[in-house]
Amino acid sequence: MGKAMEVRGLAKTYRVFRRGSGLRDALASLVHRRHEDVHAVAGIDLDIEEGELVGFLGPNGAGKSTTLKMLSGILHPTGGSVLALGKYVPWTDRTEYVRNVGAVFGQKSQLVWDVPPQDTYRMARAIHGIPRDTYRRRLDRLVDLLDISRTMTQPTRSLSLGEKMRCEFALSLLHGPRLLFLDEPTIGLDIEAKDRIRSFISEINAEGTTVILTTHDLSDVERLARRIVVIDHGRLGFDGPLEELRGRWGERKRIRLTSRDLSTSFSMGGLKDVSHDGEGRWEFELDLQAGSLHDVLERLAASCHIDDLSVEDPPLEDAVRRLYRGEEAC
Amino acid sequence: MVGSFRGHLALHLEGIRLGIAVRLTNRVDFAASLLVMMGMEFVPTLITALLYGSGRAFPGWSLHEALLIQGVFLVAKGIAYPLFGGMVWNTGEMVRDGSFELLLLQPRHPLQTCMARAFDAEDLGKLAGGIMLSGWCLSRLPAPTAMQLAGFAVFFALSIALFLASIVAMGSLLIVWVGNYRVYEIFDTIASLGQFPIAVLPPRLRGLAVAGFPFAAFAVIPASSLLGRSVEGAWMAVVSVALLLGLSLWFWNRLLRRLVGAGG
C-alpha cells in the first residue's frame, strides 16, 4: 500500500480583524480596521499510510480543523506541501482529488432537510457522475450495512440523530472514496448509536478505506484508532500509537478499591491517592516505575478488608489532559 | 461522465427534481406562495392598465405593447429565477451556517453545484403569469415576422444572461457580506425599472438603461424586437451584458478564493 498523505511543513496564517466593543469602536472600525496575523498551523509534518485509521485530537482552537480543511482541499495553506493518495495536491487538484474523498461532519448535515435521504443520494449520484449500476450496487450494500432501508425513505427532518448519522455515512461513501474524513461523527449520539457507527467505521477501514477521524470523544479514539495525532498550538504535539500516548508519562495503573476499614493514612511509594469519597470507595494511581503492583495489592490485603477491587489502565483522558497542559513526558 | 454535457445536464435535471420535491413537502405553503408571488408580480401590470384606463399612456406605446414588455419581463424572470435565483438565498444561508465549504468537497465547480441545488419551483408562477400575459398581448397585436422572432430569441437570451449575471453578482456579495439580503431588494428595485418603456425615463438614465447596467435588456429590448421596433444602442446592451456576466463570474471566483484563503 502507498501513502495516503505526505505532509511537509504545512502552515496556515490568516488575518483576523479586531474590534473593540461599544459604539465608539464600532464607528472607528468603519474608518480603520485593526488586524493581526494568527498562525493557526505552524509547520506540520505527517505521513499517513493508505488503509490507516488515524485519530486527530487537539483542544479547541489548536489548529486541528484548519489542518483537516487543508488536507481535504477546502483551504489553501500559506506554506508547506501535501501530496495526497500519491498524486494529488488537495487545493490545486481539488476536482480530481475530491472524487476520492468522502466526509462526514457530525455538526454539519449534507442531507437535504425536507426530503428523504434517498433524494440527496440521487443528487450525489449526479454530482459525482456515478454510473447507475455502480450506484445501485453501492447503495444496496450501504443500506444493508447501515440498516437504513426504511430510514432513507423518510424525510430527513423526521429522523433521529443516530438514523441521520447513518444516512450521512451512506451519502459520504456512495462514490467509493479511498479517503474518509470524519469530524465528530458520534457527537450527540446515544451509546447504541455510537456503537453502530463505530462498528461501521471499523468495517470500512478493514476494507481498505483510509480514515482520518477528528473527535473530542476519546472513547471513539480508544475504540477505533491505532494511531493518534495530537495538534496543539498549530504544531504536532504527539504522533504515535495509542499505547505510547498512554505510557508517555510512565507506566501507570489505576486501582479502584471498596473497603470500609482502610485507613486514610495508607500510603506507599509510587502510589497516589486520586480520590476517596468517605464511604469506602478509593481510587489510587500507581507509578509502576516507583512501586510494584504486587506489593501494593499485598499491602492492601493486609491492611484492610477488601469488598471490591479492580486494576485498570489509566483513562486516556489523563494522558491527553497532560499533553494539552504541556506536561513534560518521562 | 462528470465533465460531459450529459453529466452536466443530468446534474441540473436532478437539481430541478430535488427542488420540486423540496417545495412539494409543504403543498399548501407552495400553492399559496405560488399565487402570492404571481399576484405581486402583476402590480406593475395593474398600474399600467390603470394608467391607460385613465386616458394616459407611455409615449409611443399602446396598452398591449406596454403590457407585452411586462409579459416578457415575467417570462424571463420566470425562467431565470427558478433556475438560478435560489443561488442568492442558498449562498447566503450556506455561508452563514458554515456549510458553504462543503461544496468544495464535490468534484464540480462550486458555482455549478450551488446553481444546481438552487432550483426554486415557487418562481414558476412568474413564468406561467408571463406566458399568459404575453400570449394575451400578442393575440391583440400584429403577428411578428420570422426576423422579429429571431431577433427576439437573441435578445431574450440576453435577458436571461443579464439575470444570471445579476444573480451571480448578488451571490458573490453574500460570500463576504454574510447574511445581508438587502442586495436582493436593491437588485429587485433596479430590475423593476426594466418593465417600462425607456421613454418614461429621464434622458440621462436612458443611456444607462442600455449601456451601463442595461436594465432595458431585461424586457424592453426583447419586446421591442418582437414588435419590430428599434431600440437605440441595443447592441451596446449586448456588450454590456457580456461584460457584466464576465465580471460577475470573475467576482464570484475571486471571492471564493478569498474564502478558501481564510482560516477557521
A202-234 pLDDT, tens digit each:
999 999 999 999 988 888 998 999 899 999 889
β pairing state of A210-214 and A53-57: parallel
Q: What is the pLDDT of residue B153?
A: 96
Distances (CA, A) of B212 to A219, A276, B151: 62, 80, 21
Q: What are phi and psi of B56, to 5 degrees?
A: -95, 170
Residue type, B109: H
Q: Are A112 and B18 a contacting pair at CB < 8 A?
A: yes
pLDDT over 90 percentage in chain A: 58
β pairing state of A210-214 and A179-183: parallel
- d(CA A1, CA A178) in angstroms, rounded, equals 12
Distances (CA, A) of A219 to A141, A185, A198, B18: 27, 12, 10, 38
Q: What is the pLDDT of residue A329?
A: 67
* Averaged pLDDT, B67-77: 95
Residue of chain A whose Cα is closest to the Cα of B101: A74
Q: How confident is the model at residue A141 (pLDDT cuts 50, 70, 90)?
A: very high
Q: Is the pLDDT of residue B262 over 60?
A: no
Q: How confident is the model at residue A119 (pLDDT cuts 50, 70, 90)?
A: very high
Of A16, A109, A127, the CB nearest to B113: A127
Q: What residues are paired with A255 via a beta bridge?
A: A284, A311
Of B1, B116, B263, the CB nearest to A12: B263
Q: What are phi and psi of A149, to 5 degrees?
A: -60, -40
Q: What is the pLDDT of residue B93?
A: 84
Q: What is the pLDDT of residue B155?
A: 95
Residue type, B232: E
Q: What is the pLDDT of residue B264?
A: 43
Return the closest-CA partner of residue B264 out of A44, A48, A76: A76
Give the E-state strand segments of chain A in sequence order: 3-18, 34-49, 53-57, 79-84, 101-105, 179-183, 210-214, 227-232, 235-241, 252-258, 271-276, 281-287, 308-312
- d(CA A77, CA A7) in angstroms, rounded, equals 12
Q: How confident is the model at residue B186 (pLDDT cuts 50, 70, 90)?
A: confident
- d(CA A63, CA B151) in angstroms, rounded, equals 58
Mean pLDDT of chain A: 89
Q: What are phi and psi of B179, to 5 degrees?
A: 75, 10
ipTM of this predicted structure: 0.83
Q: Are B108 and A94 a contacting pair at CB < 8 A?
A: no
Q: Are B107 and A74 a contacting pair at CB < 8 A?
A: no
- pTM of the entire predicted model: 0.83
CA B57 to chain centre: 26
Q: What is the pLDDT of residue B179?
A: 66
Q: Are A14 and B263 a contacting pair at CB < 8 A?
A: yes
Of B10, B25, B97, the CB nearest to A115: B25
- Of the ranges A200-214, A282-296, B30-44, which is most confident? A200-214
- Which of B103, B105, B111, B257 to mutate to test binding with chain A, by most A CBs within 10 Å of its CB? B105
- d(CA A218, CA A164) in angstroms, rounded, equals 22
Q: Are A230 and A236 in contact (CB under 8 A)?
A: yes
Cell numbers found for residue A317: 483522558
Q: Are A115 and B106 a contacting pair at CB < 8 A?
A: no
Q: Is A87 helix (H, G, I), strand (E, B) or coil?
A: coil
End-to-end CA distance of chain B: 34
Nearest-neighbour CA in chain A from B15: distance (Å): 7
- d(CA A204, CA A181) in angstroms, rounded, equals 13
* Averaged pLDDT, B207-224: 88
Query: Can you list the pairs that B244-250 forms with residues at least 24 positions away whose Cβ atoms lie under 8 Å?
Result: B244/B162, B244/B165, B244/B166, B244/B169, B244/B213, B244/B214, B245/B161, B245/B162, B245/B164, B245/B165, B245/B168, B247/B165, B247/B169, B248/B164, B248/B165, B248/B166, B248/B168, B248/B169, B248/B172, B249/B111, B249/B168
Q: How confident is the model at residue B263 (pLDDT cuts 50, 70, 90)?
A: very low
- d(CA B211, CA A323) in angstroms, rounded, equals 64
Angle (nearest 5°) at CA A253 between A250 and A254: 130
Return the closest-CA partner of residue A258 out of A240, A275, A280: A280
Cell numbers found for residue A179: 479517503
Q: Minimum mean pLDDT among A38-52, B32-46, B51-65, B148-162: which range?
A: B32-46
A48-102 pLDDT, tens digit each:
999 999 999 988 888 888 899 999 998 889 999 999 999 999 999 999 999 999 9
Residue type, B93: E
Q: Are A261 and A273 in contact (CB under 8 A)?
A: no
Greatest CA separation for chain B: 62
Residue type, A230: V
Of A74, A101, A128, the CB nearest to B260: A74
